[in-house]
């Protein structure tokens, strides 16, 4: 099969389109023919070697895919060859951890394309218990934008943030992949949503997604704007995928007794905050990663019902993975970028 892989860590140019052996599905597994594969910022960090450097090289990245069943491993039932499916973007590698809660904290949990070869290929092998039938009836490229950002957004907004109707919610970097879904999720739950952007194009995008307040951080202080929007009270929930120097601002924009959900480190892996102000105001800081199978299925149901729309910025051929990574790494994408197999 053909795959976009890398043999050394480095810039986007290390990604090469080459032939590798096609997997043969092991018992209990499904071989999926990948129609389209979504790109996540995490994969840019992995390719750079910023997160892990003990990956066996050459390596194939990718956790998100839309595909069809190509072959069933021994003992697999409930699926048919040719059926449209979506693999979970992360799952425990040891079946004994399948019931661990939260799932992404399981000892053997791994995001696709990290410890095993991922979806930047014509085929990917996935345990059948972590494969979902595609209920969306959408184009494969649109579906490929969904898995990681959808299951992460559902867990951050609905499960961890516990956003409810009438809540005021701040979602950082609204045009980013997970954030664009988080805006729609919060709106579908009946919340009022404020979000931050850094360009006119991103402002137009988040308005289309339903954001009630759009804060252009080039011209406005997001803490001041959020407090004015809530008449000095602060938001009930802040969803922060930026970390670093932004985290303190997200905390300042949150009301007494409110919740800050942290789920990223785009502006830095280390953050400082004013401890006394934090506990004097009875705020809660909660971390989250990716969700479980039920959260994934719930999110897909919302997509199938039309409550959430994929945000596809651009398609690239799988052979153009290096160019696609350049775009994702530049922060210029308005939504999600996908790789398509011819």
Give the predicted TM-score (pTM) of the model: 0.92
At 195 the pLDDT is 98
**Would the pLDDT of 189 be above 90?**
yes
HEC-encoded secondary structure of 30-71: EEEEEEEEEECHHHHHHHHCCCCCCCCCCECCCCEEEEEEEE
Indicate the CATH number for domain 150-287: 3.40.50.720
- Over residues 39-57, the pLDDT tens digits come to 998 999 999 999 889 899 9
- Over residues 153-168, the pLDDT tens digits come to 999 999 999 999 999 9
At 185 the pLDDT is 96
Q: Residue 290: pLDDT band by 50, 70, 90 thresholds? A: very high
* Mean pLDDT of all residues in 318-322: 98
Give the residue from 95, 76, 42 showing the smallest Cα distance to 265: 42
At 335 the pLDDT is 81
Give the C-alpha distances (Å, rounded to integers) separating 157 from 31, 112, 152, 190: 32, 22, 9, 12
Mean pLDDT rounded to a whole number for the chain:
96
Contact partners, residue 235, CB within 8 Å, separation at least 6: 167, 168, 169, 170, 194, 226, 253, 254, 255, 258
Same fold, 2-146+310-340 and 150-287: no
Q: Could you tell me the fold of the domain covering 2-146+310-340?
A: Quinone Oxidoreductase; Chain A, domain 1 (3.90.180)
Percent of the chain residues past pLDDT 70, beyond the cut: 100
Instruction: Give the domain ranges of the chain.
Output: 2-146+310-340, 150-287
- Full DSSP string of 121-165: BSEEEEEGGGEEE--S---HHHHHTSHHHHHHHHIIIIIIS---T
Q: In which element (H, E) is residue 19 found? A: strand 15-19
- Over residues 269-289, the pLDDT tens digits come to 999 999 999 999 999 999 999
**Would the pLDDT of 176 be above 90?**
no
**Would the pLDDT of 334 be above 90?**
no
């Amino acid at each position: 099969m053909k795959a976009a892989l890398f043999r050394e860590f480095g810039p986007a140019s290390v990604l090469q389109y080459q032939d590798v052996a096609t997997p043969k599905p092991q018992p209990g597994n499904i071989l999926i023919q990948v129609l389209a594969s979504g790109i996540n910022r995490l994969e840019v960090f992995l390719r750079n070697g910023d997160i892990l450097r003990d990956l066996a090289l050459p390596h194939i990245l990718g956790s998100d895919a839309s595909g069809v069943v190509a072959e069933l491993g021994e003992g697999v039932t409930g699926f048919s060859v040719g059926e449209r499916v979506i693999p979970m973007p992360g799952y425990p590698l040891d079946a004994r951890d399948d019931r661990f809660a939260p799932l992404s904290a399981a000892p053997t949990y791994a995001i696709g394309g990290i410890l095993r070869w991922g979806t930047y290929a014509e085929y990917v092998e996935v345990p059948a218990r972590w494969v979902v039938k595609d209920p969306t009836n959408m184009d494969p490229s649109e579906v490929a934008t969904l898995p990681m950002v959808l299951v992460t957004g559902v867990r951050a907004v609905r499960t961890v943030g516990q956003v409810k109707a009438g809540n005021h919610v701040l979602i950082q970097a609204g045009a980013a992949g997970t954030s664009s879904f988080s805006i729609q999720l919060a709106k579908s739950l009946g919340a009022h949503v404020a979000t931050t952007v850094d360009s006119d194009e991103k402002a137009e995008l988040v308005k289309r997604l339903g954001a009630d307040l759009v804060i252009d951080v080039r011209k406005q202080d997001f803490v001041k704007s959020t407090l004015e929007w809530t008449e000095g009270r602060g938001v009930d929930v802040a969803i922060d995928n930026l970390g670093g120097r932004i985290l303190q601002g997200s905390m300042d924009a949150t009301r007494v007794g409110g919740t800050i959900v942290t789920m990223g480190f785009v502006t830095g892996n280390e953050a400082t905050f004013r401890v006394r102000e934090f506990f004097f105001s009875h705020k809660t800081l909660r971390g989250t990663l990716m969700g479980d199978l039920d959260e994934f299925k719930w999110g897909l149901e919302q997509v199938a019902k039309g409550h959430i729309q994929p945000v596809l910025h651009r398609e690239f051929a799988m052979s153009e993975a290096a160019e696609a990574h350049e775009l994702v790494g530049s922060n210029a994408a308005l939504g999600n970028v996908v790789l398509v197999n011819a």
